């Protein structure tokens, strides 16, 4: 059974929807909008909660991210240990950030059929 929760930054510039799979414990985060030093707090709060709850796998779907800066990257990297966090549908804006900071290998893409 999937449960969906949506959190929006007060500015309206960034939104995060979370699908929680009760069977597997996996969370899929759908990031949407512009993530900078101010709006990335939406992502950080959800990732902190996932860490506290011991979520075994976190997939971050970035397909609708229109802007991402170092704050977005820092939030992802701080929760990427143990290969629990992977990225899915990475747009050019995020891919460029990963390449420019040489962190592509630290945030692997989602792999395997039927895992998204």
pLDDT tens readout for residues 42-61: 999 999 999 899 999 999 99
Q: What band does 64 get if pLDDT is binned at 50, 70 and 90?
A: very high
Question: Are 7 and 32 in contact, with CB atoms under 8 Å apart?
Answer: no
Q: For the chain, what are the domain ranges?
A: 2-106
Instruction: Dihedral sign for Cα 113, 92, 12, 80, please.
Output: positive
Per-residue pLDDT at 99 exceeds 70: yes
Percent of the chain with pLDDT over 90: 61
> 2-106: what fold?
Transcription Regulator spoIIAA (3.30.750)
pTM of full prediction above 0.85:
yes
Per-residue pLDDT at 27 exceeds 70: yes
Per-residue pLDDT at 83 exceeds 70: no
């Amino acid at each position: 059974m999937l449960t969906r929760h949506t959190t929006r930054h007060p500015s309206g510039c960034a939104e995060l929807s979370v699908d929680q799979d009760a069977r597997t414990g996996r969370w899929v985060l759908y990031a949407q909008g512009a993530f900078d030093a101010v709006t990335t707090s939406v992502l950080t709060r959800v990732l902190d909660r996932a860490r506290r709850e011991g979520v075994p796998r976190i997939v971050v779907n970035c397909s609708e991210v229109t802007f991402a800066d170092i704050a977005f990257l820092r939030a992802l990297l701080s929760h990427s240990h143990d290969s629990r966090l992977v990225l899915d549908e990475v747009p050019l804006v995020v891919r460029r950030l990963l390449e420019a900071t040489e962190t592509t290998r630290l945030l692997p893409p989602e792999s395997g059929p039927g895992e998204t």
